[in-house]
Each structure stands twice: as structure tokens, then as C-alpha cells.
């Protein structure tokens, strides 16, 4: 058996070793946090996309109103819709 | 000068568990308890102190990071294996010609061959021993350091090196004999 220490380092040298080790450890912790955030974000995006795919888009009924005697229509909010065609197509907001 | 006694595996495991939970003091204590002897072994194996520091630091970070090392039961043994394997990897990359096949037969010595205890008591003996170790072939130096400096048994060494315990025992005996002869030449007993 070889008793004793083969390579002797001074306290200063060991302190430098420990400082570098601590710096590497902190860097690894930061890398882990970044990896965790990226993974969480990727999962969240994937979940949102999956939910969007599952939600069926509403299929609204449209009403076509023939226009014969007027050039403009007053809507509830008070704005005027100029008519260039002879029909006004209205989204009823009611799903099929 | 004698090296300080290393903490038990139980103590080291307790420190490792605390360190993994974010206890920086426990991590520091774990390193302080183990670094000296492992560093000595790696530096003697690789013959490069800067490389030995890098390997040792990599070993501590891997041990601390559960995603790398998993559930470790014996931290010291784990560190020994990790650092020895990294040292061999380094030697294979950088000195492939000098690193002979570990399975190669070496001089067979009587099974009752014993080696006297070698105490590294002062800087003169230390330098002499380091220079003698550097003269040994890589495979004998590595097995000898694993056995006589890190205190690993032949089964553990064989499992780390991927060879048989009998080959390891032969390499240790052969290494010891060469080391003692070289020390005698230097008039160090």
C-alpha cells in the first residue's frame, strides 16, 4: 500500500480548483434551468396546438338579403355599409 | 506526511444527498473529503496535473448530477471508477501506442508475493515515487495505483478495466516488483 499523498497542492491551489468547480456547477444549473424552460414552453405550445386541433371551428349560417330599393343599409352600431352589389350577405352569428 | 483519513461511504452518501438537494456546503465538504487521494491517482496515471484536475472536476459534477450518475450507493467507489475510466480514455486518445492491451499477459509472480508498505513521508520520497511510477508501463501503473493507492480490490479493478481479476493480480504483482526494484536503485525503501 502507498501511504501518504502523491501530489500535494497548496490551499491556494485547492481554492482555485474549488472556485472553478463551483463556476462549472453554476453553469450546469443554469443550463438545466434553460433546458427546463425550453421543454416546458415546447410542451405548452404542443398542448395549445393539440387543443386547437380538437376544437371544431363554428360553421355559421349566412343570410343573403336582396337589395332593390336602397343603396345603403343602416346597421345597429350606426355605421353605413355601402352596397355595390345587389345583395347584402350577413353573418347571423348562429352556428349551423 | 500522511494523508488524512477519508470519510466513510455512508458519510459521503449523506453529503451527496444533501448536495443534490442544493446544499452547497455539503457539496464542498464531499469534494474536500475525497479530492486529495483521487487527484493523486489520476495525476500519476495521466502524468498531467491539469488533465487530472479537469477529470476530477468532471467526476464531481457527474456525481452531483443525478441525471448523469443516477442512484449512487457508494460515491467514493463511483468516483474512482469514473475518474479511472476517464484517465484511460485520455491515455487512449493521446498515447494509444503506450497503452498496451490490459489483457496482455505479464510476468507471473508467486501468489504469496507481498509488497512492503511504502510511506510517502516527505517531498524527496514523493518525487522519487512519482518518477518510479512514471517509469512503469501504463497498464501496471494504472492497476497498481487503483490497488495500492485507491484501495480497490482486484474484482473491482477488473470490472472497471474490463479484464479478469487474475490478470489484474498479475499486473499488480509485476508492477509492485518493478516499483520496488526501481526504488532500490534510488536507494529508497
Looking at residue B147, which CATH number applies to its domain? Answer: 1.10.10.10
Report the candidate in A92, A89, A19 with the shortest Cα–Cα distance to residue A61: A92
Residue contact A4–B3, C-beta within 8 A: yes
CATH code for the domain of B36:
1.10.1740.10
Say if residue B28 is in the same domain as residue B88: yes
Return the biggest CA–CA distance within chain B: 52
β-pairing, A80-82 vs A60-66, is unpaired
Residue contact B61–A18, C-beta within 8 A: no
Residue B168 lies in a domain: yes
Of B94, B114, B137, the residue at which a domain comes to its end is: B94
pLDDT digits (tens, 9 = 90+) for B84-123: 999 989 988 887 655 555 555 555 555 555 666 777 777 8
Say if residue B16 is in the same domain as residue B86: yes
Q: Band of the pLDDT at A94, cuts 50, 70, 90?
A: low
Write the residue in B1, B28, B52 that is nearest to A5 by C-beta: B1
Residue B162 lies in a domain: yes
- Which set of grid coordinates corresponds to residue B96? 494509444
* Residue B1 pLDDT: 40
Most A-contacting residue of B22, B30, B35 (CB-CB within 10 A), to test interface? B35
Say if residue B24 is in the same domain as residue B83: yes
C-alpha–C-alpha distance, residues B85 and B88, integer Å? 5
Model ipTM value: 0.80
Q: Per-residue pLDDT for B45 more than 60? A: yes
Span B166-189, average pLDDT: 86
Residue B80 lies in a domain: yes
* Residue B47 pLDDT: 87
> Is B175 an interface residue toward A (CB < 8 Å)?
no
Min Cα distance B95 → chain A (Å) is 22
Residue A91, classed as helix, strand or coil, is: strand
Q: Band of the pLDDT at A80, cuts 50, 70, 90?
A: very low
C-alpha–C-alpha distance, residues B65 and B70, integer Å? 8
Q: How many folded domains does chain B comprise?
A: 2
C-alpha–C-alpha distance, residues B2 and A9, integer Å? 14
Report the candidate in B84, B172, B82, B160 with the shortest Cα–Cα distance to residue B136: B172
Report the candidate in B31, B34, B28, B26 with the shortest Cα–Cα distance to residue B5: B34
Most A-contacting residue of B4, B20, B53, B114 (CB-CB within 10 A), to test interface? B53
Residue B107 lies in a domain: no
Most confident of the ranges A44-53, A82-91, B106-115? A44-53
- Residues of B within 8 A of A20 (CB-CB) are 53, 57
| CB count in 10 Å sphere of residue B6 | 15
Span B14-32, average pLDDT: 95
Residue with the larger pLDDT of the pair B188 and B179: B179
Report the candidate in B177, B179, B172, B173 with the shortest Cα–Cα distance to residue B157: B172
Say if residue B128 is in the same domain as residue B61: no
Residue B64 lies in a domain: yes
- Structural domain of B163: 123-185
Phi, psi of A66 (to 5 degrees): -70, 140
Q: Which residue has the cell 467507489?
A: B77
What is the reported pTM? Answer: 0.73
In whole numbers, what is the pLDDT of chain B averaged over residues? 85
C-alpha–C-alpha distance, residues B108 and B111, integer Å? 9
Asked if B171 and B143 touch (Cβ cutoff 8 Å), the reply is: yes
Asked if B136 and B47 touch (Cβ cutoff 8 Å), the reply is: no
Residue B177 lies in a domain: yes
Min Cα distance A49 → chain B (Å) is 30
Report the candidate in B88, B76, B70 with the shortest Cα–Cα distance to residue B161: B88
Give residues with Cβ within 8 angstroms of B102, minimum separation 6: B139, B161, B162, B163, B167, B171
Residue B99 lies in a domain: no
Say if residue B66 is in the same domain as residue B128: no
Amino acid at each position: 500500500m502507498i501511504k501518504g499523498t502523491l501530489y500535494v497542492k497548496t490551499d491556494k491551489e485547492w481554492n482555485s480548483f474549488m472556485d472553478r468547480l463551483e463556476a462549472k456547477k453554476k453553469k450546469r444549473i443554469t443550463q438545466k434551468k434553460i433546458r427546463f424552460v425550453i421543454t416546458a414552453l415546447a410542451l405548452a405550445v404542443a398542448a395549445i396546438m393539440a387543443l386547437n386541433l380538437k376544437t371544431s371551428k363554428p360553421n355559421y349560417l349566412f343570410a343573403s338579403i336582396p337589395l332593390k330599393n336602397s343603396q345603403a343599409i343602416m346597421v345597429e352600431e350606426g355605421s353605413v355599409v355601402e352596397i355595390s352589389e345587389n345583395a347584402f350577405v350577413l353573418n347571423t352569428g348562429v352556428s349551423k | 506526511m500522511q494523508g488524512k483519513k477519508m470519510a466513510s461511504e455512508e458519510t459521503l452518501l449523506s453529503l451527496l444527498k444533501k448536495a443534490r438537494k442544493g446544499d452547497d456546503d455539503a457539496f464542498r465538504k464531499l469534494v474536500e473529503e475525497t479530492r486529495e487521494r483521487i487527484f493523486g491517482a489520476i495525476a500519476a496515471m495521466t502524468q498531467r496535473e491539469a488533465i487530472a484536475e479537469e477529470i476530477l472536476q468532471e467526476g464531481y459534477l457527474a456525481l452531483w448530477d443525478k441525471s448523469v450518475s443516477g442512484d449512487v450507493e457508494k460515491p467514493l467507489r463511483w468516483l474512482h471508477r469514473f475518474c479511472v475510466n476517464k484517465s484511460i480514455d485520455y491515455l487512449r486518445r493521446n498515447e494509444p501506442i503506450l497503452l498496451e492491451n490490459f489483457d496482455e499477459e505479464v510476468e507471473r509472480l508467486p501468489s504469496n508475493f507481498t509488497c512492503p508498505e511504502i510511506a510517502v513521508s516527505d517531498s524527496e520520497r514523493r518525487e522519487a515515487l512519482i518518477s518510479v511510477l512514471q517509469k512503469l508501463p501504463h497498464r501496471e501503473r494504472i492497476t497498481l495505483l487503483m490497488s495500492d493507492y485507491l484501495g480497490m480490490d482486484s474484482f473491482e479493478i477488473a470490472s472497471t478495466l474490463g479484464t479478469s481479476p487474475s490478470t489484474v493480480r498479475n499486473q499488480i504483482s509485476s508492477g509492485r516488483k518493478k516499483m520496488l526494484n526501481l526504488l532500490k536503485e534510488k536507494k529508497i525503501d
